[in-house]
Amino acid sequence: MIKLENSSIKNWVFVTGAPRTGTTFVGMNLSLPLEVDYIHEPFNPQCGLPGVTQWYRYVKPTLDTEEMQKYHQLTQRIFTYDFKLRTKVPKDDPWHKQLIKQTIGSRGKFYLRIAKINPFHNSAIIKDPIGCLMCEYLYVHFGVKPVIIVKHPASFVASIKRVDFKLGPDQFSDQPYLIQDYFKNEVDFLTKDWSDPLLATAALWRVIYKVLLEQSKQYPNWKVITHEQLSQEPILVFKQLYEDLSLPWSKSVENKIVKQTQGNKSAEARKGRVQDFKRNSADIFKMRRESLTLEERKSIFEMTEDVALQIYSRESFDID
């Protein structure tokens, strides 16, 4: 682990997992105290560090290649706050949102600006699902405390289907060190042409969590939290996370989390929202699972079975 200079941040947390598994929800709620900064997706090629171009880049802690060493040099700047983030302005955003982002920057830039001038900070949350395969590297070299969010594969696929995102394992096939370390006995899984969107999404889930869960077995202090745990008992889970991560819990923090998880009687996101934190969290899993047909749930189970059964039961897929 390197010695970090010029930073008053002594407590670093890395919140990650697959996209749309609740990483933003967790990252934002862990950074509610004034003493805790929030850093949004520095490894996202669209809105992250200038110089980052690879989606889901795998970096070995041993930094075996020149490219990995360049990523290391770039990443070090995060931990001294000597970095900038790019602005993402989606073309389908309303004109007023586009104008705001062009003027003051998108979410990452906004929160980074606050972090750099925060005189009270001593902890920072790095939230980034795109950087999920850098988790072990960040832990070994920078002492981050990983928090891995896992969402049931059926619920994950249904969530991606709802927003009509196109996700698949294409980004992994050209990463030889990832294949060597985790997929050497199933190279065809990463190179296969996944024409079925449902299977492609399930395959992405399997790749990400095959790696993260295998890594987490080596490090007992890593936190692996399911989206379903968060939905059923948000206060209990967050309170324990705050304690384990040495973050300052308070009644104010508790009230804000309660408001987000119980503020809407419906579990469904409000119309037109890709992300909606204010909803009835406890019913989300059942609603998502029931939006899939029996055949779809069976296909997802067959695709993810070896990884999913490390955390979820067969019964949770409702296929029998």
Is 279 a domain residue? yes
Task: List pLDDT tens digits, range 70-125.
Answer: 999 999 999 999 999 998 766 776 766 766 666 666 789 999 999 999 999 999 99
Across the chain, mean pLDDT equals 89
Is 222 a domain residue? yes
**11 pLDDT more than 70:** yes
Q: What local confidence, expressed as pLDDT, does residue 95 receive?
A: 64
Environment class of 227 (CB within 10 Å of its CB; exposed 0-12, middle 13-18, buried 19+): buried
SS3 48: coil
Does this model's pTM top 0.75? My answer is yes
Is 6 a domain residue? no
pLDDT bracket for residue 2 (50, 70, 90): very low
Find the Cα–Cα–Cα–Cα dihedral 188, 193, 197, 199, rounded to 10°: -20
Distance CA 267, CA 312 (A): 21
> What is the domain extent for residue 90?
11-315
Is 251 a domain residue? yes
Q: Within its chain, how far is the Cα of 202 from the centroid? A: 16
**149 pLDDT more than 60:** yes
CATH number for the domain that contains residue 96: 3.40.50
Distance CA 102, CA 28 (A): 23
Q: What local confidence, expressed as pLDDT, does residue 269 receive?
A: 46
Query: Is 167 in contact with 175 (CB distance < 8 Å)?
Result: no
Find the Cα–Cα–Cα–Cα dihedral 312, 315, 316, 320, rounded to 10°: 140
Is 2 a domain residue? no
Task: List pLDDT tens digits, range 20-40.
Answer: 999 999 999 999 999 999 999
Between helices 153-163 and 294-308, what is the axis angle to 10°? Answer: 130
Six-digit token pair at 293?
Answer: 């047909």
Is 310 a domain residue? yes
pLDDT bracket for residue 8 (50, 70, 90): confident
Is 1 a domain residue? no
Is 90 a domain residue? yes
Number of domains comprising the chain: 1
